[in-house]
């Protein structure tokens, strides 16, 4: 069994050295050249021929470089014609699983591949409404795997019986998954330390303008509800300030449409672990405030902004019940102990306050978002940023497999929210279906629990004002 690009390689290997009694191809790439051009919005193989390919780059989710592209050309598995030749030479039966809405594979290429397999195609399973990654929909994935197991059993058993197929216990699967995560963490090779986030956020500027990301921010602030004068907002993991800037522009538009200037300022606090990102956030929000003020007269500052370098994996340097609103956008899954970080955020949320969290889904498929980002990139620099972002996303996916990052499914989120003691919790799908948004309220009368212990806790955490860079501004 092999999936995506690996299934095309498996087909080539089986043709060159037949050894299988059954080949299962999941969401197979059948026209490598066309899929690569669709996803990356450029002809990487033509670039390789001109010596323009970097030594290391993301290719359809794999971090590879010149050697892979050269091997693909030399071994002849680049074009659809190469795939059809291999399909016609195959001697083992094939089960083909495809996605109905696969953005990476053209339907006509898939149909041509099916025709070339001929009598060797044992079964073709089409997963309805699925994208390129089968795991993106766990329920649909389980049903597909059940069909595959039944097909395998029928293929190898002399007297196949449906009673011989057992559905695994989900609790046992959960325990096994945790054991594998721990083992993978001990063998993790992907570097996702401070240098990685410095580079990642440095190439995140174009994403802030992506249609899907703007819709995510709109969803976040609709879920956050009205923000009134005098309230305090915490942007936990603010990055380059995209969420804060969206909030600021929205508030400015509200005032411009007729709402009077606020007599009491709203207090915004942005925290992140990357100093350069905090500086970019401060610069962007200060520029937006200045531009808006120039269009008005006698404007009372309506938002005060302050910044601090804070690691969400450590206890927060704020007193209990400090903030009326808390936002954490696409961050919490990157913290080593997300549960403890969420409890800390809930600790500093004021009674009657609201917290909105967004977090990627497990095994997400970002091909559609990436294509939208690249297709709308007007400048070469924007396209380059999109490619760099894809490279970093490949590292994030690998780090997820290694257990370094944790992206919860809906059931896990429901369990986590229940342990916080919150009220009126809601869970939505957002970001083109690739993330969850969780909105929860803290009861107006809240019995304060003991502050949670956090893994590898450092003593005496304190706010780091980073003189000259992070300061309170009007």
* Separation between Cα atoms, residue 320 and residue 49, nearest integer Å: 60
Q: Does the pTM exceed 0.85? A: no
* Separation between Cα atoms, residue 342 and residue 420, nearest integer Å: 9
Phi, psi at 259, each rounded to 5°: -70, 135
263, with CB counted inside 10 A (0-12, 13-18, 19+), is: exposed
The domain spans of the chain are: 2-162, 194-441
* Separation between Cα atoms, residue 374 and residue 385, nearest integer Å: 9
- How far does CA 473 lie from the centroid of its chain? 32
Nearest to 442 by CA among 372, 378, 371, 356: 356
DSSP 121: E
* Separation between Cα atoms, residue 297 and residue 299, nearest integer Å: 5
List Cβ<8 Å contacts ≥24 apart for 401-406: 401/184, 402/184, 402/185, 402/187, 402/188, 402/189, 402/190, 403/180, 403/181, 403/182, 403/183, 403/184, 403/185, 403/188, 404/185, 404/188, 404/190, 404/192, 404/336, 405/192, 405/333, 405/334, 406/333, 406/338
The reported pLDDT for the residue numbered 262 is: 55
The reported pLDDT for the residue numbered 159 is: 72
332, with CB counted inside 10 A (0-12, 13-18, 19+), is: buried
SS3 281: helix
Nearest to 46 by CA among 28, 68, 73: 73
Contact 258, 222 (CB under 8 A): no
Give the right CATH number for 2-162 from 3.90.1140.10, 3.40.50.1820, 3.40.50.300, 3.30.590.20: 3.40.50.1820
The reported pLDDT for the residue numbered 257 is: 60
Phi, psi at 279, each rounded to 5°: -65, -40
DSSP 159: S
Phi, psi at 132, each rounded to 5°: -75, -30
CATH topology assigned to domain 194-441 = Rossmann fold (3.40.50)
The reported pLDDT for the residue numbered 318 is: 97
Contact 230, 412 (CB under 8 A): no
DSSP 450: P
Angle between helices 380-401 and 367-375 (to 10 degrees): 170
Give the pair of three-digit tokens for residue 39: 């996803």
Contact 305, 282 (CB under 8 A): yes
In this prediction, the residues of the chain whose per-residue pLDDT falls under 50 are: 297-300, 449-474
SS3 338: helix
Give the pair of three-digit tokens for residue 47: 């670039």
* Separation between Cα atoms, residue 327 and residue 428, nearest integer Å: 15
Q: What is the pLDDT of residues 138-177, one digit of tens each?
A: 788 888 988 898 888 888 776 766 677 777 787 888 788 7
* Separation between Cα atoms, residue 427 and residue 439, nearest integer Å: 7
* Separation between Cα atoms, residue 22 and residue 120, nearest integer Å: 10
């Amino acid at each position: 069994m092999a999936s995506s690009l690996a299934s095309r390689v498996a087909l080539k290997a089986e043709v060159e050295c037949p050894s299988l009694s059954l080949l299962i191809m999941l969401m197979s790439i059948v026209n490598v050249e066309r899929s690569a051009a669709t996803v990356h919005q450029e002809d990487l193989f033509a670039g390789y021929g001109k010596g323009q390919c970097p030594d290391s780059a993301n290719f359809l989710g794999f971090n590879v470089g010149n050697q892979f592209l050269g091997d693909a050309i030399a071994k002849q598995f680049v074009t659809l014609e190469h795939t059809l030749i291999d399909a016609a030479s195959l001697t083992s039966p094939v089960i083909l699983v495809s996605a109905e809405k696969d953005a990476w594979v053209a339907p006509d290429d898939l149909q041509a591949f099916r025709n070339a397999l001929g009598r060797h195609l044992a079964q073709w399973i089409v997963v309805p409404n699925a994208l390129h990654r089968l795991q993106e929909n766990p329920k649909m994935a389980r049903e597909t795997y059940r069909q595959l197991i039944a097909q395998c059993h029928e293929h190898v058993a002399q007297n196949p019986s449906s009673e011989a197929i057992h559905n695994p216990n989900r609790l046992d699967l959960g325990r096994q998954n945790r054991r594998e995560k721990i083992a993978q963490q001990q063998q993790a090779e992907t570097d996702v330390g401070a240098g990685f986030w410095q580079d990642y956020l440095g190439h995140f500027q174009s994403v802030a303008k992506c249609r899907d990301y703007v819709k995510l921010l709109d969803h976040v602030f609709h879920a956050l509800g009205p923000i009134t004068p005098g309230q305090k907002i915490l942007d936990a993991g603010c990055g380059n300030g995209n969420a804060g800037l969206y909030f600021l522009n929205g508030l400015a538009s509200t005032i411009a449409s007729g709402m009077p200037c606020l007599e009491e300022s709203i207090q915004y606090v942005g925290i992140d672990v990357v100093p350069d990102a905090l500086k970019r956030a401060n610069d962007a929000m200060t520029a937006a405030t200045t531009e808006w003020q120039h269009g008005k007269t006698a404007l009372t500052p309506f938002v005060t902004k302050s910044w601090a370098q804070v690691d969400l994996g450590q206890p927060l340097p704020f007193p209990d019940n400090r903030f009326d609103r808390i936002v954490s956008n696409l961050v919490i899954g990157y913290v080593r102990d997300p549960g403890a970080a969420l409890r800390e955020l809930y600790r500093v949320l004021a009674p009657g306050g609201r917290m909105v969290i967004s977090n990627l889904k497990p095994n997400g498929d970002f091909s559609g978002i990436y294509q939208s980002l690249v297709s709308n990139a007007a400048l070469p620099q924007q396209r380059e940023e999109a490619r760099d972002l894809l490279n970093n996303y490949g590292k994030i996916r690998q780090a997820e497999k290694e257990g370094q990052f944790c992206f919860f499914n809906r059931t896990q989120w429901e369990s986590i929210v229940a342990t916080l003691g919150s009220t009126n919790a809601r869970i939505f799908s957002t970001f083109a279906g690739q993330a969850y948004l969780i909105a929860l309220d803290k009861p107006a009368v809240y019995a304060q629990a003991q502050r949670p212990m956090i893994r590898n806790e450092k003593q005496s955490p304190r706010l780091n004002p980073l003189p000259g860079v992070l300061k309170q501004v009007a």
